[in-house]
Amino acid sequence: MKSTASKSQFILLLVFALLVITVSEFIGIQAVKIGSIKISFLPLVYAILITMILGITVVRKGILKKVYSKDNVNFSGKYLIFIMLPLMARYGADVAPKIHEILQVGWIFVIQEFGHLCTVLIGLPIAILIGLRREAIGATLGIGREGELAYISEKYTLDSDEGRGVLSLYIIGTLFGTLFFSIVTPILLSFGFDVEALAMSAGVGSASMMTAASSALVAGIPAKADTITAYASASQLLTSFMGTYTMVFLAVPIQRFMYKLLVRGAK
C-alpha cells in the first residue's frame, strides 16, 4: 500500500502532466522554414522538451523534486505501455479503411523488418569501437523498446551490464527519439522521398516515435493524412509482431557471432 507521501507525489505527477499537456496543446503546431525545408514542431515535442528541462537536477527543486520522485519515475516507466494501448487500438482502426491498398504492397512491410538488423550490423561494431563491451549487447540488439527490454531482462536481468545497455537505449530513445523523428521526417520529405515510404518507415516499434513521424508527415501533406496514418499504423503493428521473431531468430545469433569475432576472449 502506498504511503500518504507517495500518494501526494502521485497526485502532483498527474497535475503536472495535465499542465504540460495543456501548455503544449496551447502552443500548437509550429513550423520553421530552413531554406526550402519546412520542419513542423508538434505539441508532443514541446511536452518532451518541457519535461526534460524541468527534470534537470539544477531545475528540479521544491515541488518539482516531488513530481520527479523515484516512485513517480518508476511508475511512469513501468506503465507507459498501458498508456499507449488506446493509441495503438486507434491505429489498428485506422488500418482497416486502407487494408486493400496496404495488402498490395504487403511484401515491402515484411522486407523492412530486415532493416532492424542494422542496429546489430552497424551499431555493434561502433559500440565496441568506443569502448562498450557487454553493455553493447543490450544497446544494439534493437532500438531498445519493450521487446528488447523484455528479452534482455529475462536472459541477463536489468542489473547486468547487458541490462544497463538496453535501459540506457530505452531512456535515450524515449527522450530524444521523438524529437529526432519529428525533425528528420519533414527533411526527408523535402528531399523528395515518397510519403508512403516515409510513413512505412515510421513504424519502428515505438508508438511515440511513430506518432511523431506520422504527425510530422500529416502536417506537411494534410491531403494524405488517412494514407499516412494507415501505412504508419500497419508498419507499427507488423513491427510489434514480426520484430520479436526477427530479434530472436536473426538479430540474437548474428549479434552473438559478431561479438565473439570483435571482442577477444568473449564467451
Q: Which residue has the higher pLDDT, 11 or 179?
A: 11
Looking at 59-68, 76-85, 108-117, 202-211, which range is the least confident one? 76-85
Q: Per residue in 197-224, pLDDT tens?
A: 898 888 887 777 888 888 888 888 889 8
Element at 114 (helix H, strand E): none
Q: What is d(CA 228, CA 130) in angstroms, rounded to the nearest whole number? A: 38
Higher pLDDT, 77 or 209: 209
If we measure between CA atoms, which residue out of 234, 235, 216 comes closest to residue 225?
216
Q: Chain-wide mean pLDDT for the chain?
A: 81
For the beta carbon of residue 93, count every other beta carbon within 10 angstroms. Answer: 11
Note the pLDDT of residue 1: 47
Strands 37-41 and 30-34: antiparallel
Query: Cell 518541457 appears where?
Result: 50
Q: How many CB atoms lie within 10 A of CB 84?
A: 16
Determine contact, residues 39/186, Cβ cutoff 8 Å: yes
pLDDT in tens, 213-257: 888 888 888 898 888 888 888 888 777 777 777 888 899 999 999
CA-closest candidate to residue 217, choices 21, 28, 20, 29: 29
